Structure 1
Amino acid sequence: MTSPALKICGITRLEDARFCAGAFVDRLGFIFTEQSQRTVDVNLVGAITQWIEGMGMVAVTMDQPLDDVKAILKRSGCSHIQLHGDEPPHYCEALDVPIIKTISVGPEDTAQEVQSQLNRYNDVVDEFLFDSRLEQGGQTQRGGTGQPFDWSILHSCSIDKPYWIGGGLDATRIQEALELYTPYGFDVNSGVEEAPGIKDYDKISHLTSSLKTTS
């Protein structure tokens, strides 16, 4: 069995990106939304993508103007786009890089609601990412919550694309997920950090080692 892919999101420093490359992480995620504590400068990402080869570089955006997203892709050199908001299908069709569409799963969401989102985007994206969504104080937080969503909802969904699982993941939770599901990969952010945007190399090494044992 091939071990699942690993994406480390919320990269803000060149040294963290280089460590991930040496640890055989498959993809790096760079967040370009102002709402995030891990927002990164597009010029820094451009430098990182020039320094490091052989990895998927993912620009993460959320409900931003299409022209702005195209400019981010051009300046950053990212190979993939992760759409983290409510971008409509025609928005996806206007992009010419592989698209990861986030399906944000809240505690009250039903399998039917999640399936409706999958059906809406199935023909216009390349991969799906299931991540957690929380409502707090009238504010919606998509991703970066440090909390997993209810994975059992995936049992009731028909998923026709490669998919990633995110949301409050660390090595232990990933092993638990692998006992139940066979995703293309896992998206990890806060679970391998010392502080927002600062990665913990010991945690990354432990995670990559544990994933190798699944192959």
Structure 2
Amino acid sequence: MLTKTVKISNVTNLSDARYCAGMGVEMLGFSIDEDSPNYISPKKFEDICSWLAGVTLVAETGKTDPEAILTALAEYPVHAVQVNDPGLLNYLRAEVGLPLLLRISVDIYEADEIAPILSRYESEVTHFLLESDKEAEISEAWMQTLTAVEADYPVLVGFGLDNEFTVSALTELLPNIGIALRGSEEIRPGYKDFGAMMDILEALEEQ
């Protein structure tokens, strides 16, 4: 079992899904946006998830149209929904009745802007996911922010995680945070080099 809450985003293949579920990853995320390079069709989602048990399946969407999200969700029997727009939270909570995650891009917000966001939406989500599309590093300012909020809010850190050594150091300094990693493509069907993901998850295993 893993010592931290871990979410794997952008899962696109059965190899990732089965390996991560077997390692004790708590959440697997699947993009339901057709224009996303990581999009998973309802049929492929069904095929992958038929092999899984005991893991929370998260629909990931960057859409801002609530009706479009509801239409897409109707084809995915997930356990939770992740959105980028906090303005959707109240609506989705009423309409979907599933746990919600809020993805916050650290490429858009400065470190000192995060705490007010967490405070404002704490009652509406189960987790906050901090991610970067530009390979942002965890600066001193970010470390100060994470240190200040990690005991009070359910934060998943998904940036600045270069390898198992940085993850081990981070989780030792911040014992309450969770970790968010991203899936990757198979080299060919059924064959996968897990590389850094394997090293990081093994570093998070209970000794």
* Alignment pair present for 1:205 and 2:205: no
After superposition, what is the alpha-carbon deviation per residue over 1:146-166, rounded to whole angstroms, capped at 9, x for unaligned? 333443222344763322111
Letter of the 1:42 counterpart: P
Q: Measured at CA, do residues 58 and 108 of structure 1 come closer, stay the same or move farther in structure 2, by a change above 3 Å?
A: closer
* Mapping for residues 49-64 of structure 1, pairs under 5 Å: 49-64=49-64
1:145 aligns with 2:134: yes
Structure 2 contact 13–185 (Cα < 8 Å) conserved: no
The 10-residue stretch of structure 1 (164-173 or 63-72) with the greater mean CA deviation from structure 2:
63-72
Compared CA separation, residues 13 and 25, structure 1 to 2 (3 A): same
Number of residue equivalences:
198
- Tell me the alpha carbon deviations over residues 24-45 of structure 1, each in whole angstroms, 9 at most, x when there is no partner: 3222111223564322223211
Looking at structure 2, the residues matched to 74 and 156 of structure 1 have their Cα atoms a distance apart, in angstroms, of: 38
Does residue 165 of structure 1 match 2:166?
no
For 1:63 and 1:107, the matched residues in 2 are separated by 17
**TM-score, normalised on structure 2?**
0.79
Question: Aligned partners of 1:204, 1:52: CA distance in 2, in Å?
Answer: 19
Shift of 1:110: 4.4
Q: Give the aligned CA root-mean-square deviation in angstroms.
A: 2.9
**5+ long unaligned stretches in structure 1:** 133-143
Name the TM-score, length of structure 1 as normaliser: 0.76
What is the aligned partner in structure 2 of residue 176 from structure 1?
A: 169
Tell me the CA shift for residue 181 of structure 1.
Answer: 0.9
Identity, in percent, stands at: 27
SS of the residue corresponding to residue 58 of structure 1 reads: strand
Q: CA deviation at 1:88?
A: 4.1
8 Å CA contact 2:8, 2:181 repeated in 1: yes
1:22 positional shift: 2.5
SS at match of 1:117: helix
SS in 2 for 1:173: helix
Shift in Å, 1:101:
1.1
Cα separation, partners in 2 of 1:171 and 1:115, compared to 1, 3 Å = same
Long gaps (5+) in structure 2: none
Q: Provide the secondary structure at the position in 1 that maps to 2:64.
A: coil
Corresponding residue for 2:18? 18
Deviation, 1:54, is: 0.9
Q: Secondary structure at the match of 1:123?
A: helix
In the TM superposition, structure 1's runs of 4+ consecutive aligned residues that sit over 6 Å from their partners are 192-195
CA distance in 1, matches of 2:72, 2:153: 25
